[in-house]
């Protein structure tokens, strides 16, 4: 976000860079809501921002800068948010997990957490230690008072206590980094949800389902410790898909809900039914219902502030798949358009593209030449400005395909070249 600042490339990004280089076209997690001024929707993931920042397209960063209002799911810079999340996770006064959980499940849980506490000093990086982040402090920050937490929150906690996740602690996740930058730039910040709205659905799972979910989570991590199971979706998988702009909804929905994948081929039939019920419940409560609520509140904010631009940064899963925030906005009558990584955004926030249109006619007496009208499209709400530039002759003599194929190739070539070369100077 700091223009003109250079820094070394994170070596951890090289693997993603190599993988992405094989992709035919990178995508983005940016959408524009066509209004005046425009507003933007940006999909995030809950990982350290340093793991993804260099892969976020420039137009996404520019949209952030151009927006005077930046809103998130929750206000991560508000101390009340952290306090309310902590309170929501606790069991009623006088209760604890040792009396609540079956004895064997409690013992396995304690044994696993003892293992994590023992391994944590070996998992942590020299960089973390150099910043004064020590294993005992970090374990207590994540798992302290775990016996007083509700089982569903302990399940989520266990799922986050992996070597990869521990090694990433100490760096703000992407959402928090954007919130901190927005405050530094004195933008108006806010949230579209309250803590209780995220918390209560998790606490609403019935006790037998919670026990099943906690047991399955422990089984997965015990198998990982024994080396007999490979995780279905790891943090590294998530980062790779995000950096390469993969708009598949499956992996991002799991990041958005922060839940492990319970349905797998090792379950017995009656266990699969329970797993599917849990998956269906969370999909409805943590994805679909929240998408509806978030979409309505995005609409309300824009209607209440008609002359202001917004940048909404939500988990990427809220924009992918079925019944998304995008669907809600479109149902409300807004035109929402995905912005590919290569598209440019003008200073006032509009979308600028170039188009080459074939014009019938000959040039220099050769049928191997084509004339194209070059047009600059400036997309504004309910208005498109078209600027015709002089004819551009293109020599297609060396091509052997049909005239139609030549024309299509030339149109695409010209449009791509003009977008890349000229748009930054508009």
Evaluate whether 71 touches 190 at the Cβ level (below 8 Å).
yes
Domain contains 224: yes
The residue count of the chain comes to: 426
Taking CA atoms, 124 is separated from 15, 127, 147, 271, 410, in Å, by 21, 8, 24, 36, 53
pLDDT higher than 90, residue 304: yes
> Domain check: are 190 and 325 in the same one?
yes
Choose from 68-72, 130-134, 222-226, 412-416 the range with maximum mean pLDDT.
68-72
Of 343, 372, 401, which marks where a domain is finished? 343
Kindly report, residue by residue over 45-104, the tens digit of the pLDDT.
999 999 999 999 999 999 999 999 999 999 988 889 889 988 999 999 999 999 999 999
Read off the pLDDT of each residue in 23-48 and give the average, rounded to a whole number. 85
Which of 54-63, 185-194, 244-253, 265-274 is the least confident region?
244-253
Taking CA atoms, 421 is separated from 258, 378, 384, 418, 426, in Å, by 41, 16, 21, 5, 10
* pLDDT on residue 99: 95
- In percent, the amount of the chain with pLDDT more than 90 equals 45
| CA–CA separation, 30 and 336 (whole Å) | 10
Which of 85-94, 182-191, 227-236, 407-416 is the least confident region?
407-416
> Domain check: are 79 and 145 in the same one?
yes
pLDDT higher than 60, residue 2: no
Domain contains 3: no
> Domain check: are 126 and 220 in the same one?
yes
> Domain check: are 16 and 84 in the same one?
yes
* pLDDT on residue 267: 74
> Domain check: are 294 and 409 in the same one?
no
CA nearest neighbour of 313 among 31, 39, 38, 44: 44
Q: What is the DSSP string of 299-365?
A: HHHHHHSTT--EEEEEEGGGGSSSS-HHHHHHHTT--EEE--TT-EE-TTS-EEEEEEEEES--BTT
| CA–CA separation, 261 and 243 (whole Å) | 22
Q: How far is CA 94 from its chain centroid?
A: 39
Read off the pLDDT of each residue in 239-255 and give the average, rounded to a whole number. 72
* pLDDT on residue 82: 86
Q: Which residue has the higher pLDDT, 406 or 326?
A: 326
> Domain check: are 128 and 196 in the same one?
yes
Torsional sign, CA 77, 79, 81, 87: positive
* pLDDT on residue 12: 44
* pLDDT on residue 402: 43
Of 321, 343, 365, which marks where a domain is finished? 343
| CA–CA separation, 226 and 234 (whole Å) | 17
Domain contains 226: yes
> Domain check: are 41 and 111 in the same one?
yes
pLDDT higher than 60, residue 350: no
| CA–CA separation, 188 and 179 (whole Å) | 10
> Domain check: are 271 and 412 in the same one?
no
pLDDT higher than 70, residue 375: no
> Domain check: are 361 and 381 in the same one?
yes
pLDDT higher than 80, residue 389: no
Read off the pLDDT of each residue in 6-30 and give the average, rounded to a whole number. 52
Domain contains 1: no
327 phi/psi in degrees, rounded to 5? -65, -40
* pLDDT on residue 386: 43
Beta bridge partners of 312: 41, 71
| CA–CA separation, 261 and 252 (whole Å) | 12
* pLDDT on residue 364: 39
pLDDT higher than 50, residue 365: no
Domain contains 178: yes
> Domain check: are 339 and 373 in the same one?
no
Q: Which residue has the higher pLDDT, 119 or 351?
A: 119
Pair type for strands 336-338 and 310-315: unpaired
Domain contains 106: yes
Domain contains 59: yes
Terminal C-alpha separation, the chain: 21
> Domain check: are 366 and 291 in the same one?
no
* pLDDT on residue 176: 93
Helix H, strand E, coil C: the string for 227-261 is: CCCCCCCCHHHHHHHHHCCCCCHHHHHHHHHCCCC
Tokens for 149, please give them. 């937490």
Evaluate whether 294 touches 73 at the Cβ level (below 8 Å).
yes
* pLDDT on residue 20: 60
97 contact partners, CB below 8 Å, separation of at least 6: 91, 106, 109, 146, 147, 148, 149, 151, 154
CA angle 175, 180, 182 (to 5 degrees): 95
* pLDDT on residue 316: 92
Tokens for 69, please give them. 């209002």
User: What residue has token string 């798949």?
Assistant: 321
> Domain check: are 176 and 125 in the same one?
yes
pTM over 0.85: no
| CA–CA separation, 197 and 189 (whole Å) | 19
| CA–CA separation, 344 and 367 (whole Å) | 34
pLDDT higher than 50, residue 292: yes
Nearest 10 degrees: CA dihedral of 412, 414, 420, 422? Answer: -150
Of 324, 343, 362, which marks where a domain is finished? 343
* pLDDT on residue 265: 55
Domain contains 388: yes
Instruction: Provide the domain limits for residue 366.
Output: 350-425
| CA–CA separation, 276 and 399 (whole Å) | 55
Total domains, the chain: 2
């Amino acid at each position: 976000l700091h223009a003109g600042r250079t820094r070394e490339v994170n070596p951890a990004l090289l693997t993603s860079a190599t993988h992405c280089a094989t992709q035919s076209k990178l995508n983005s997690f940016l959408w524009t809501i066509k209004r005046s001024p425009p507003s933007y929707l940006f999909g995030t993931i809950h990982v350290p921002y340093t793991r993804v920042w260099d892969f976020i397209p420039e137009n996404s960063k520019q949209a952030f800068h151009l927006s005077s209002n930046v809103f998130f799911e929750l206000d991560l810079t508000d101390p009340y948010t952290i306090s309310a999340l902590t309170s929501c996770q606790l069991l009623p006064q006088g209760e604890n997990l040792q009396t609540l959980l079956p004895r064997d499940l409690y013992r396995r849980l304690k044994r696993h957490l003892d293992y994590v506490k023992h391994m944590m000093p070996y998992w942590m990086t020299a960089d973390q230690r150099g910043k004064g982040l020590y294993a005992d402090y970090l374990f207590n920050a994540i798992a302290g008072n775990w016996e007083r937490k509700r089982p569903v929150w302990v399940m989520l906690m266990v799922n986050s206590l992996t070597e990869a996740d521990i090694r990433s602690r100490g760096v703000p996740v992407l959402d928090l980094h954007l919130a901190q930058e927005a405050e530094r730039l004195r933008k108006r910040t806010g949230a579209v949800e309250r803590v209780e709205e995220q918390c209560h659905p998790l606490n609403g799972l019935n006790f037998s389902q919670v026990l099943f979910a906690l047991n399955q989570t422990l089984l997965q991590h015990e198998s990982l410790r024994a080396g007999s199971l490979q995780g279905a979706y790891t943090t590294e998988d998530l980062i790779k898909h995000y950096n390469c702009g993969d708009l598949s909804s499956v992996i991002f929905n799991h990041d958005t809900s922060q839940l492990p994948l319970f349905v797998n081929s090792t379950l017995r039939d009656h266990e699969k039914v329970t797993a599917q019920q849990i998956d269906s419940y969370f999909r409805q409560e943590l994805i679909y219902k929240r998408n509806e609520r978030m979409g309505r509140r995005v609409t309300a904010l824009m209607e209440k502030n008609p002359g202001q631009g917004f940048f909404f940064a939500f988990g990427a899963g809220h924009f992918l798949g079925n019944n998304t925030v995008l669907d809600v906005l479109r149902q409300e009558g807004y035109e929402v358009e995905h912005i590919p990584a290569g598209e440019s955004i003008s200073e006032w926030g509009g979308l600028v593209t170039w188009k080459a249109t074939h014009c019938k006619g000959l040039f220099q007496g050769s049928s191997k030449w084509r004339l194209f009208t070059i047009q600059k499209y400036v997309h504004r709400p309910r208005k498109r400005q078209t600027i015709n530039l002089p004819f551009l002759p293109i020599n297609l003599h060396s091509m052997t395909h049909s005239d139609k194929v030549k024309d299509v190739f030339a149109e695409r070539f010209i449009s791509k070249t003009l977008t890349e070369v000229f748009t930054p100077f508009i």
